[in-house]
């Protein structure tokens, strides 16, 4: 059904006035083919790799279960934590996963507000990834505490003792920031799913599917009023999510910045963490989408242009992160604070220098290759680079957390952290959780926003052959009445086909 466009001349012909390749490739693409392609992912027999991958992910998820059982059953000491190093792989894993989640929100919300149409092909998967990443992240703050069964004390639960959480604590801010983020992300994702769920419902062949999808489609019929309300809700949620992209990682960075520990106590952290989060999130989206578009033959929807745009964002955020690394060193020297100075020298040349240089090579050097268009558009190379960036960003958090803690003020209490097998298996296990959820998502929900993709297709543009019209915004398929007709057409077609 799907058409793989490899014909360079065809792409050339379809380029717009400033030479950008079209968002959806293939001259035979219609609303119907898009619906068929995306809905087909959930309706047809999955590729052979899917059950294998699901089984693998489930096995790894079970490793997480076993690790956490061991952790809660025996105590925090099953991890390698010790007295100078009270946090290591746990909070590293937490910040790593939360950071990954940021790409989804950025793509969905900020790019939406900036009218970046190219987001439509990837936003659904990215949003799903956000939710699963936050779930994986949530494992850590929940289970890293010594007494998991009392975790609910971090919530302001009214109680007869009138004991409240400590509102001065950045960890409490974290609780609110992350739970808000999770809630808004789920809402945003779900609202976006509603029209597509209706499409699936209309195409469903069994009664059960119709019932279930019918319930979650909230009675969507694609009427003009539905679309009008939908667009407004989506816009509002995008508006709500946008500050979250900045706030969540800012607050996560406060866990460190608000402390007094050299290497943590620094004002650069909020922007540095946000840039790092977007950087790592895009890398993870890329890693996943490169695989998904190949397995499900979505090359015409998730095009090279999409991937290249994302690479450009990684180049930008990666450079910001590199700048932050350099600035940290500069400030350590410029501040004249001997403890600060020592911490940074120790990072680069101390016992954890191997981690530091791994981080620098992965995060600062590897994105610089994206200056070259050849590399930016080469799928194998960008895949390898995104893996490097994923590794590097994990190391960034590890370096910040562990190297600052292991040698702080009093030299007599300096120590060294070594992970245990449970540290490693817990972290590996969170990947199991993440991929298990992601594979289920790919299989049972439309992995690409069908309605939105249609909106950016030439057929959706009423002035497709006009040059720049006078109204500017009116050109956008979104929000114009014409567009809704097209949507209706598409749905009708789908329903009939």
Residue 75 near another protein by CB under 8 A: yes
Pick 343 or 366: Cβ nearer another protein: 343
Question: Among the candidate windows 178-186, 274-282, 400-408, 470-478, which touches another protein by CB under 8 A?
Answer: 400-408
Q: Shortest distance, CB of residue 212 to another protein, whole angstroms?
A: 39
Question: Among the candidate windows 76-84, 222-230, 316-324, 489-497, which touches another protein by CB under 8 A?
Answer: 76-84
Query: Would you say 175 and 155 are in contact if contact means Cβ atoms under 8 Å apart?
Result: yes
Q: Shortest distance, CB of residue 83 to another protein, whole angstroms?
A: 5
Query: Would you say 82 and 418 are in contact if contact means Cβ atoms under 8 Å apart?
Result: no
State the sign of the Cα–Cα–Cα–Cα dihedral 332, 333, 336, 341: positive
Q: How far is CA 298 from CA 1, 50, 194, 310, in A?
A: 11, 16, 22, 17
Residue 419 near another protein by CB under 8 A: no
Lay out the site mask for another protein across 140-179 (x = CB under 8 A, - = otherwise). ----xxxxx-xx-xx--------xxxx-xxxxx--x----
Structure tokens that stand for 365 in this block:
């050097």
Residues 250-309 close enough to bind another protein by CB under 8 A: 255, 258-261
Q: Shortest distance, CB of residue 353 to another protein, whole angstroms?
A: 17
Which residue from 51, 65, 77, 219 is in contact with another protein, where contact means CB under 8 A? Answer: 77
Pick 42 or 346: Cβ nearer another protein: 346
Rounded (5°) CA angle 476-286-91: 115
Question: Among the candidate windows 7-15, 74-82, 191-199, 433-441, which touches another protein by CB under 8 A?
Answer: 74-82
Residue 137 near another protein by CB under 8 A: no
Q: Shortest distance, CB of residue 344 to another protein, whole angstroms?
A: 14
Q: Shortest distance, CB of residue 189 to another protein, whole angstroms?
A: 28
Residue 86 near another protein by CB under 8 A: yes
Pick 46 or 165: Cβ nearer another protein: 165
Q: Shortest distance, CB of residue 255 to another protein, whole angstroms?
A: 8
Q: Shortest distance, CB of residue 120 to another protein, whole angstroms?
A: 40
Query: Would you say 154 and 476 are in contact if contact means Cβ atoms under 8 Å apart?
Result: no
Query: Would you say 58 and 436 are in contact if contact means Cβ atoms under 8 Å apart?
Result: yes
Pick 155 or 372: Cβ nearer another protein: 155
Query: Would you say 115 and 476 are in contact if contact means Cβ atoms under 8 Å apart?
Result: yes
Q: Which of helix, strand or coil describes residue 396?
A: helix
Structure tokens that stand for 156 in this block:
């302001």
Return the CA Rg of the chain.
24
Residue 414 near another protein by CB under 8 A: yes
Question: Among the candidate windows 27-35, 62-70, 299-307, 408-416, which touches another protein by CB under 8 A?
Answer: 408-416
Query: Would you say 344 and 331 are in contact if contact means Cβ atoms under 8 Å apart?
Result: no
Residue written as tokens 């062949």?
205
Pick 87 or 434: Cβ nearer another protein: 87
Q: What share of the chain is helix, strand, coil (3-state, %, to 5)?
A: 75, 0, 25
Q: Which of 282, 272, 271, 268 is nearest to 367 (CA)?
A: 282
- Residue 493, H or E segment: helix 481-496
Question: Among the candidate windows 15-23, 109-117, 125-133, 403-411, which touches another protein by CB under 8 A?
Answer: 403-411
Which residue from 51, 415, 474, 497 is in contact with another protein, where contact means CB under 8 A? Answer: 415
Question: Among the candidate windows 56-64, 187-195, 298-306, 336-344, which touches another protein by CB under 8 A?
Answer: 336-344
Dump strand ranges (E) for 234-321.
Answer: none
CA-CA distance, 173 to 249, in Å (whole number)? 11
Residue 424 near another protein by CB under 8 A: no
Pick 284 or 401: Cβ nearer another protein: 401
Q: Shortest distance, CB of residue 337 to another protein, whole angstroms?
A: 9
124 alpha carbon, distance to own chain's centre: 11
Structure tokens that stand for 173 in this block:
């801010």
State the sign of the Cα–Cα–Cα–Cα dihedral 332, 333, 337, 339: positive
Q: Shortest distance, CB of residue 250 to another protein, whole angstroms?
A: 17
**End-to-end CA, the chain:** 13
Residue 412 near another protein by CB under 8 A: yes
Which residue from 54, 95, 405, 437 is in contact with another protein, where contact means CB under 8 A? Answer: 405
Q: Shortest distance, CB of residue 411 to another protein, whole angstroms?
A: 5
Pick 415 or 497: Cβ nearer another protein: 415
- Residues sharing a CB contact under 8 Å with residue 325, sequence separation 6 or more, in sequence order: 360, 363, 364
Pick 165 or 271: Cβ nearer another protein: 165
CA-CA distance, 287 to 274, in Å (whole number)? 20
- Residues sharing a CB contact under 8 Å with residue 152, sequence separation 6 or more, in sequence order: none
Site of interaction with another protein (CB under 8 A): 74-77, 80-84, 86-87, 144-148, 150-151, 153-154, 163-166, 168-172, 175, 255, 258-261, 338-339, 342, 405, 407-416
């Amino acid at each position: 059904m799907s058409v793989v466009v490899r014909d360079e001349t065809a792409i050339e012909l379809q380029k717009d006035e400033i030479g950008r390749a079209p968002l959806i490739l293939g001259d035979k693409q219609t609303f119907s083919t898009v619906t068929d392609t995306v809905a087909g992912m959930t309706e047809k027999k999955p590729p052979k790799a899917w059950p294998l991958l699901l089984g693998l992910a489930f096995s790894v998820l079970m490793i997480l279960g076993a690790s956490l059982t061991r952790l809660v059953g025996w105590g925090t000491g099953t991890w390698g934590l010790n007295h100078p190093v009270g946090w290591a792989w746990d909070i590293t894993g937490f910040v790593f996963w939360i950071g990954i989640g940021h790409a989804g929100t950025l793509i969905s919300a900020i790019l939406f507000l900036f009218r970046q149409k190219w987001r439509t092909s990837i936003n659904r998967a990215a949003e799903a990834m956000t939710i699963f990443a936050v779930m994986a992240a949530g494992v850590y703050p929940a289970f890293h505490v010594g007494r998991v069964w009392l975790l609910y004390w971090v919530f302001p639960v009214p109680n007869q003792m009138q004991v409240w959480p400590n509102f001065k604590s950045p960890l409490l801010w974290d609780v609110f920031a992350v739970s808000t983020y999770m809630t808004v992300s789920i809402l945003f994702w779900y609202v976006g799913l509603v029209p597509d769920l209706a499409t699936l419902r209309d195409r469903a062949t069994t009664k059960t599917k119709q019932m279930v999808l019918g319930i979650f489609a909230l009675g969507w019929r694609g009427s003009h009023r539905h679309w009008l309300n939908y667009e407004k809700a989506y816009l509002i949620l995008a508006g709500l999510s946008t500050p979250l992209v900045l706030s969540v990682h800012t607050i996560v960075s406060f866990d460190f910045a608000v402390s007094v520990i050299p290497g943590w106590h620094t004002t650069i952290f909020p922007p540095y963490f946000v840039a790092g989060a977007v950087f790592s999130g895009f890398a993870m989206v890329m890693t996943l989408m490169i695989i998904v578009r190949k397995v499900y033959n979505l090359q015409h929807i998730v095009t090279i242009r999409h991937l290249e745009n994302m690479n450009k964002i990684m180049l930008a955020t990666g450079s910001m992160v590199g700048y932050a690394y350099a600035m940290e060193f500069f400030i350590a020297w410029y501040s004249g604070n001997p403890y600060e100075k020592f911490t940074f020298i120790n990072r680069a040349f101390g016992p954890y220098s191997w981690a530091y240089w791994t981080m620098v090579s992965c995060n600062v050097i590897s994105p610089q290759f994206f200056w070259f268009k050849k590399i930016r558009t080469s799928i194998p190379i960008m895949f390898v680079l995104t893996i490097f960036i994923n590794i590097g960003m994990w190391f960034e958090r590890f370096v910040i957390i562990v190297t600052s803690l292991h040698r702080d003020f009093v030299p007599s209490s300096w120590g060294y952290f070594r992970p245990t097998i449970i540290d490693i298996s817990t972290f590996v296990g969170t990947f199991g959780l993440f991929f298990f959820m992601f594979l289920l998502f790919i299989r049972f929900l439309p992995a690409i926003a069908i309605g939105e993709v249609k909106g950016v297709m030439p057929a959706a543009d009423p002035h497709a052959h006009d040059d720049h019209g006078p109204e500017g915004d009116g050109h956008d398929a979104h929000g114009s009445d014409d567009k809704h007709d097209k949507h209706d057409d598409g749905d009708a077609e789908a329903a009939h086909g």
